[in-house]
Amino acid sequence: MRFTRSILILTLLAALCGAAMTALTIIPAATPAAHAAPRAAITASPEPDPPSSPVPDTPVLDTPVPDTPVPRDEDNGRADPALAKSVEPADPRVGDEVVFTLTVTNHGDRRARDVVVTDPVPPLFEVLEAHADRGDLEVSGNTVVARIGTVAPGEVIRISIRARVTGDAPAASNSAELTTSNGDRDVSNNAATVTLALATAPPTATPTVEPTPAATETPTPPSVAQQEAGQSASSSADAPRQRLPRTATPLADGDLWLLAALGLAGIALGVWARRRQAATR
């Protein structure tokens, strides 16, 4: 009886173990089956891309871009060549030399190209020479032309003209102008003028011409009778004649005539006295 129970217990245990083993075998097999589809989707290899053909190298042409100024506001990005002028001295006389100085300055932030300064000096002056810091100078008569060329921003160019005053006038003015080939920001400073006050020439001193004394004839020595008559006339005259000092001023024509008349009167008195003396004898 006990033996039979033992066999039944072992049989039940064996059945339970078999059932347990069957459950254990089915569960691991079912688990990978549930995840098989997603795993296959993840690990699927993509189709290979078709081979790409090589693209030939195309040379890139370096085309120069013209230097076109970018328009900005009117106060920036443009050239502004300005002209100023002075003279020294400002009050010359006829015959004096003066120096006109012209100054060109580019106040803009771009180059001023083909800058030319023209100065027609008035005909009251004679141009002697001209000089510029750089550029070509041309003097035609009284007109001076300075072809400077390009003036960089902030650059200063000076031109000097030496001239002589040949005409006489109360005042004279000299104007010059500047031109450029590209845009100018301010054209009001492209001309300059100076005014000179010509001093009046001092009056020429007129030399004083002293009158030349009239030429007198050398008197003939009187005879003995004339000497006696002269002595008598001298003694009878109211006022004796006075001889002029040697340092006296030369006599005028009227004084000479008066002396001649007095001399004739003395001679006449002497002749008259001589005759009266002869008659009384």
Centre a 10 Å sphere on the Cβ of residue 273 and count the other Cβ atoms it contains.
Answer: 18
Task: Give the phi and the psi of residue 270 in degrees, each rounded to 5.
Answer: -65, -40
0.85 exceeded by the pTM? no
Residue range 81-197 in CATH 2.60.40.1530: yes
Out of 9-23, 89-103, 121-135, 177-191, pick the least confident: 9-23
Across 17-46, average pLDDT:
51
HEC string of 49-76 equals CCCCCCCCCCCCCCCCCCCCCCCCCCCC
Residue 94 pLDDT: 92
pLDDT confidence band for 171 (50 / 70 / 90)? confident
More confident residue, 275 or 229: 275
Sign of CA dihedral 261, 266, 272, 275: negative
Annotate 219-271 with three-state secondary structure: CCCCCHHHHHHHHHHHHHCCCCCCCCCCCCCCCCHHHHHHHHHHHHHHHHHHH
Give the type of residue at 19: A
pLDDT digits (tens, 9 = 90+) for 239-276: 455 555 555 555 566 677 888 888 888 888 888 888 88
pLDDT at position 128 over 70: yes
Tell me the longest C-alpha to C-alpha distance in the chain.
254
45 or 73, which is more confident: 45
> How far does CA 189 lie from the centroid of its chain?
12
CA nearest 80: which of 55, 52, 104, 49? 104
pLDDT tens string 70-117: 444 444 579 999 999 999 999 999 999 999 999 999 999 999 999 999
**pLDDT band of 194, cuts 50, 70, 90:** very high
User: Which residue spans within 180-220 are E strands per DSSP?
Assistant: 191-197
Higher pLDDT, 150 or 200: 150
> How far is it, in rounded angstroms, from Cα 179 to Cα 240?
94
Confidence of residue 27 (pLDDT cuts 50, 70, 90): very low
pLDDT value at 237 more than 60: no
Which amino acid does the sequence have at 49? D
Angle between helices 224-236 and 253-280 (to 10 degrees): 100
pLDDT of residue 133: 95
CA-based radius of gyration for the chain: 67
143/256 Cα distance (integer angstroms): 66
In the chain, the percentage of residues whose pLDDT exceeds 90 is: 38
